[in-house]
Amino acid sequence: MILYDLVNAKRVHFSPNSWRVRLALLHKGLPFEVKDVLFTGIADIRPGGDKLTIPTIAHAGRFVTDSWAIVQYLDTTFPDTPRLLTPESMPVVKFFQYWVQTALHGPIARMVLLDLYEGLDPADQPYFRSSREKSYQTTLEALQAGREDRLEALRRGLQPLRLALAHHPYVAGEQPGYADYLAFAAFMWARVSSRFELLADDDPVHAWRERCLDLYGGAARREPVA
Amino acid sequence: MILYDLVNAKRVHFSPNSWRVRLALLHKGLPFEVKDVLFTGIADIRPGGDKLTIPTIAHAGRFVTDSWAIVQYLDTTFPDTPRLLTPESMPVVKFFQYWVQTALHGPIARMVLLDLYEGLDPADQPYFRSSREKSYQTTLEALQAGREDRLEALRRGLQPLRLALAHHPYVAGEQPGYADYLAFAAFMWARVSSRFELLADDDPVHAWRERCLDLYGGAARREPVA
């Protein structure tokens, strides 16, 4: 099993969607090897084939791309390992992924993307700047400016997560599950890309993030911070 | 099975937490009888016992109160009926309930509570006004004022629901589930209490709400609108 994952100039893995898959693989206890790629190297993973995105896994001679598709592939291909999704939980976990996208990825991008850009390999910087500035219709500098003023809104938006964590240590209950990996991966993206702190020390979400950092032998905590 | 449910002056059932339970009972195909109560009559449901809240069900000589507890009671007591929650889905559905609480109940209360008050039985109005004004630290009139200006934020906050509904007709997938009842119940609360329209006609959330109104022989659609 190979996981193709993006790295910055310091070979640090920052892709939130890859962190989802990395934790999913650890959850299942599946051994895997990471192959580092740059944005500008994605096209070389499988020359001539359809365009892949990160994360992509290669397993048993096939490539599977997109975190949601990878998780389903892993559950199907390794039925004797702990499941990430069940038929009953899947649609609601998918909702949770959309919540993560709107409540976390959206605001966090506006707080860390310039920092992330500055940490990238110089070969990737022109692509990253032009693609993100086109997508956000503004410069990376303008996107990130004033982030302190948006911190309160980000934290307020975490209220459903905070309330859920009052009942049990993980979103998925007593043990971590894919919902945890979805939300935690967004925080990993920020953590390794920027020194801008998103959470107050006394926030239950902060304590949960610490628990996630410790999972699987501290796999996420070992990744160097920005 | 008896469901104790609140009514307004027109004997219309407006409690969102009761609508959750009502749809849960219909989902399971369990026959039930509704006993209408006023806020000022809740204490008479079980005189001398611990204070109940609405919804409460009475079944097999016992009272079960609180929508989440009722749903678990129903799944446990009637294992041969369609389940509402599974061990795997339960924590994420609980998160969804918190999302409904923050993204729907919070903003909707500020759009309909004065209208709801005006529709209440006169016997309930003093209690309702004083308890809500204490809780919100403002008058019902001030709470609801300017609701048009908050509509855009409410609709924007529905984005995770909207995205999820692009994949399948219900939050729970191809068939409705408890997550749908949680969110739909909030819209029922608004629908029977106020003429203020929360959703644009072309919103996928609007189409989903229509589908929910049609469930179980149009049980929710039969409830008179404000």
* Segment A5-32 mean pLDDT: 98
Q: What is the pLDDT of residue B112?
A: 98
Of A83, A86, A92, the CB nearest to B96: A92
pLDDT reading at B122 higher than 90: yes
ipTM higher than 0.85?
Answer: yes
Exposure on the CB side of residue B158, measured as CA atoms within 13 A: 25
pLDDT reading at B47 higher than 90: no
Query: End-to-end distance of chain A based on CA atoms, in angstroms?
Result: 28
Which is higher by pLDDT, B46 or B181? Answer: B181
Q: What is the pLDDT of residue B179?
A: 98
Q: Identify all chain A residues contacting B163, using CB atoms and an 8 Å cutoff.
A: 98, 101-102
Spatial contact of B65 and B46, defined as CB atoms under 8 Å apart: no
Read off the pLDDT of residues A189-214 as tens digits, 9 standing for 90 and up: 999 999 999 999 999 999 999 999 99
pLDDT reading at B51 higher than 90: no
Per the DSSP assignment, residues forming a β-bridge with A2 are: A33, A58
Distance from CA of A37 to the nearest CA of B (A): 30
Q: Identify all chain B residues contacting A87, using CB atoms and an 8 Å cutoff.
A: 173
Spatial contact of A28 and A84, defined as CB atoms under 8 Å apart: yes
Strand runs labelled E in A68-183: none
Q: What is the pLDDT of residue B48?
A: 83
Two structure tokens written together for A185? 């991966």
Kindly report the length of chain B.
226
Q: What is the pTM of this model?
A: 0.97
Read off the pLDDT of residues A102-136 as tens digits, 9 standing for 90 and up: 999 999 999 999 999 999 999 999 999 999 999 99
Q: What is the pLDDT of residue B49?
A: 79
Residue A155 sits at the chain B interface (C-beta within 8 Å): no
Which residues, 6 or more positions from B162, have their beta carbon under 8 angstroms from its beta carbon? B203, B204, B205
pLDDT reading at B82 higher than 90: yes
Chain B stretch 101-130, residues whose beta carbon is closer than 8 A to a beta carbon of chain A: 101-103
Spatial contact of B214 and B223, defined as CB atoms under 8 Å apart: no
Residue A50: which pLDDT band, with cuts at 50, 70 and 90? confident
Of A91, A94, A160, the CB nearest to B95: A160
Per the DSSP assignment, residues forming a β-bridge with A116 are: none
Read off the pLDDT of residues B150-176 as tens digits, 9 standing for 90 and up: 999 999 999 999 999 998 999 999 999
- A56-59: strand order across its sheet: A33-37, A2-6, A56-59, A62-65
Read off the pLDDT of residues A148-176 as tens digits, 9 standing for 90 and up: 999 999 999 999 999 999 989 999 999 99
pLDDT reading at B78 higher than 90: yes
Closest of A57, A74, A78, A77 to residue A66, by C-alpha: A57
- Interchain proximity A83–B88, CB inside 8 Å: yes
Specify the 3-state DSSP secondary structure of B84.
coil
A contact test, residue of B66, B86, B92 with most A CBs within 10 A: B92
- Interchain proximity B170–A91, CB inside 8 Å: yes
B contact test, residue of A68, A72, A92 with most B CBs within 10 A: A92
Alpha helices in chain B (DSSP H): 16-28, 67-77, 90-99, 106-119, 125-136, 140-144, 151-157, 159-164, 178-193, 204-218
* Segment B185-189 mean pLDDT: 98
Closest of A18, A4, A2, A31 to residue A193, by C-alpha: A18
Chain A stretch 83-102, residues whose beta carbon is closer than 8 A to a beta carbon of chain B: 83, 86-96, 98-99, 101-102
Q: Identify all chain A residues contacting B161, using CB atoms and an 8 Å cutoff.
A: 95, 98
Q: Please, what is the average pLDDT of chain B?
A: 97
Read off the pLDDT of residues B100-111 as tens digits, 9 standing for 90 and up: 999 999 999 999
Spatial contact of A168 and A145, defined as CB atoms under 8 Å apart: no
Residue A48: which pLDDT band, with cuts at 50, 70 and 90? confident
Rounded Cα gap, residues B187 and B33, in angstroms: 23
